Amino acid sequence: MKVFITGATGYIGHHVAKIFRINGHSVFGLTRNKKNINKLLKNEIIPVIGNIGNKDSFIPTAIECDLIIHAAVEYSEKSAELDKNFVKEITSIESKSKKKTFIYTSGCWVYGNTKGKADEKSELKPAKKVKWRHEVEEMVINSDNVNGVVIRPGCVYGKEGSLTNIWMNEVVNENKLSVIGSGKNHWAMIHVDDLADLFYKTYQSNAAKEYFNAVDNSRDSVDEIVKSISKVTGYKGEIKYFTIEEASHIVGLLAEPLAFDQHLDNSKAKSKLNWQPKYKGFVADVEIYYNSWKSNKN
């Protein structure tokens, strides 16, 4: 099978690309930067130079592939527009025989603060930063041209890391630790390898017109996460707490979702995809994740 993955040199996309290649598929990875070609080649991923804003750079490859996975993130003011336009192009591809499967990477922040455990049918109260995202999700789900699936990952950790890097960077580079909100809030989380496995099992299941929450079984509070980092790094200073309003002057709209209190239900992915998260949670193996982050950073 031929697989086309956007963001193939990014955090999520690269791990997803590798699991499909490990399982014997031909994987084409979109990358904007020619300097990243070697990262793809050494993992047997075929480079496609281009970007999601230039359809001529990706449509020919997408047409030739059976499965399309959108894992690219554009960190700019045009992120919503670029995402919508890319999804519009992909969902407009008409297959002459078997429909293509299109898996769209969304995120847990579309749920907002959850009261109790939120499943895929729960009311959405998205953060302002991702308010546009559900409209794009529905474009994927409602397309008649592709078998659309939307995956909503929690905050992803492991290997080179993602949002947990904020605190590791603070300790190592600035000798400080700060939290947005009370710290009593919980993040929905997932290890990057568990997430890649869920993408692969989604393909194997032949799912279509489905939403899936991608979270592990951990329920660590932000305080527990930060204090575990403090302990493993030997940080002796105080942990400072900022309100969303105070933090918004520094990190803008990102402040709101970082203070969300979320608990997401992963039972649908378990039952329909025969998927089980293998990792115990960030706090359980914080020393492993800290050492991996340092090694990747070097």
Query: What's the Rg (C-alpha) of the chain?
Result: 19
Contact status, residue 213 vs residue 271, Cβ threshold 8 Å: no
Domain 2-157+188-217+262-279 superfamily per CATH: NAD(P)-binding Rossmann-like Domain (3.40.50.720)
Report which residue type is found at 23.
N
Q: 65-91 pLDDT, tens per residue?
A: 999 999 998 777 889 999 999 999 999
Angle (CA) 146 82 133, round 5°: 70
The whole-number pLDDT of residue 77 equals 81
Give dist(CA 130, CA 106) in Å, integer.
9
Three-state secondary structure string covering 10-75: CHHHHHHHHHHHHCCCEEEEEECCHHHHHHHHCCCCEEEECCCCCHHHHHHHHHHCCEEEECCCCC
Q: Facing residues of 104 across strands?
A: 70, 150
At which residue do the structure tokens 């193996």 appear?
A: 285
Query: Sign of torsion, CA 118 122 127 133?
Result: positive
pLDDT at position 95 over 90: no
List the one residue out of 138, 10, 31 whose CA is nearest residue 84.
138
Boundaries of every domain in the chain: 2-157+188-217+262-279
Helix, strand, or coil (residue 150): strand
Q: What is the pLDDT of residues 96-144, one digit of tens each?
A: 788 999 999 999 999 999 989 999 999 999 999 999 999 999 999 999 9
Tens of pLDDT, residues 196-243:
999 999 999 999 999 999 999 999 999 999 999 999 999 999 999 999
Chain mean pLDDT for the chain: 96
Q: Which of 150-154, 200-204, 293-297 has the lowest mean pLDDT?
A: 293-297
Burial zone of 46 (CB within 10 Å; 0-12 exposed, 13-18 middle, 19+ buried): middle
